[in-house]
Homo-oligomer: A and B are copies of this chain.
Amino acid sequence: MKSTLLVGNAVIGQAGGPTAVINQTLVGVIEEVQKYEHIRHLLGAKHGVKGIVAEDFIDLKRQPRHMLELVARTPGSALGATRDRPDREYCERIFKTFRKYNVRYFFYIGGNDTAEAAQIVNQVAQDAKYELRVIHLPKTIDNDLLANDHCPGYGSAARFVAMAFMGDNQDNRALPGVKVNILMGRDAGFITAASILARMREDDGPHLVYVPEKPVSMDRLVEDVSAVHDKWGRCVVAVSEGIRDEEGTLWVERIRTQVNDGLGNKDAFGHSQLSGTGALADYIAGCIKGKLGKKIARVRADTYGYLQRSFPNIYSEVDAAEARLVGQMGVSYSLDADQDGSVALVRLPATTYSVGTKLVPLEAVAPPKPPKFRILDAQYIASDGNNINDSFREYALPLVGDLPKVGWFEQIAIPPIEDVK
């Protein structure tokens, strides 16, 4: 049974780390809203819930059309984002603004924290018997939202990582040694697993892949590197920032770095922070050098960091289109469903890749009890725990799109020396 069409204003906000396509979702909403009558004003909240509480809005219905496509293609969150995780009291302040501005629709783009916040706001509204529709629009490069086949933002981050490894594999082939790259993903290895899409030839890297789902000891990792280096004379390693030891402790939590600035000053830093630091990469490279330094001269480590989520023009076309679709469908669901929810992507059973959407309950994406997020299916992790199976390609490649082709020389021998002279 459909309720009477609710007429009022809408607020939209963006939360959490930006992605390459989060603005596609935003522009999808802006465009779709123009088609209908139920949303009179579309208020863009600056920096998510922060902007709602501060009543810091911009008018999104009157934006110049020519800018919308540019905004859609620009990485980062065009409205500004926030890391605030509102509690009940915060949500009551949000609701106060909603009531003041006659806001009847709340579109919130973000991950599971965001879906959780949306739930609390919804509860406050219900308790006040205030009719409000809350639509969560998923976004996360980590791809770890429950109830989704995959999440807008993932395909583009995965594409960046796959391309980066394609290049890094060529670099390592040119100047052989050990190369360790740290990828984003605290709990789920989806981004790290995408590194295997870079492999074109049998000896291409990454040769080893470690994800948070499969704990590993440093000794084991060093042994693995040694074995690969013995075989190929080089080794490229993909490591999730969320790598854990066999007791389930994050490696990064065990690293304590003491920095001496050369002037006698010492500061000790604890590195529970995962992104925006190279500590884990340096730690792993240091351990490999320490244990294998006699046989391997060249050990390097890079941390891809924020480049993974914000590099302009490196995005998956599929991801961009799906992110747009999620925004459009959010508006569509707000029209004809008398329920709140999150717009989930569903992979359709078809011979070629295709997706649909469905509106799932907010609790399905942000459940009250663990597991609160999705991790890699065990089938994708190699039995040795140090690699990702090729079957993951079928899952990930359609989301990432075709990768650039690489070329190499045929190993054609020169003619016999007597003919060459």
Segment at the interface with B among A118-126, A272-280, A383-391: A272-280
Q: Which of A245-289 contact B (CB under 8 A)?
A: 249, 253-263, 267, 269, 275-279, 281-283, 285-287
Q: Which chain A residues (41-78) contact chain B, with CB distance < 8 Å?
A: 41, 43-44, 57-60, 62-64, 67-78
Q: Scoring A residues 400 to 417 as 1 if CB is less than 8 Å from chain B, else 0, what string do you get?
A: 000011111111111101
A58 touches B412 (CB 8 A): yes
Q: Are B276 and A259 in contact (CB under 8 A)?
A: no
A312 within 8 A of B: yes
Task: Say whether A171 faces chain B, with CB atoms less than 8 Å apart.
Answer: yes
Q: A276-B301, A304-B307, A313-B404 are in contact. List 7 more A-B contacts (CB 8 A).
A: A57-B413, A58-B414, A64-B410, A77-B174, A101-B421, A257-B259, A275-B300
- Residues of B contacting A173 in the complex (Cβ-Cβ under 8 angstroms): 76, 80
Copies in the assembly, this chain: 2
* A71 to B60 alpha-carbon distance, docked (Å): 47
Given known contacts A171-B18, A407-B72, is B259 in contact with A282 (CB within 8 Å)? yes
List chain A positions with a Cβ less than 8 A from chain B. Answer: 9, 14, 17-18, 20, 23, 40-41, 43-44, 57-60, 62-64, 67-83, 100-102, 163-164, 166-171, 173-175, 179, 218, 249, 253-263, 267, 269, 275-279, 281-283, 285-287, 290, 299-307, 309-314, 404-415, 417, 420-421
Residues of B within 8 A of A166 (CB): 312
Q: Which residues of B contact A421 (CB under 8 A)?
A: 100-102
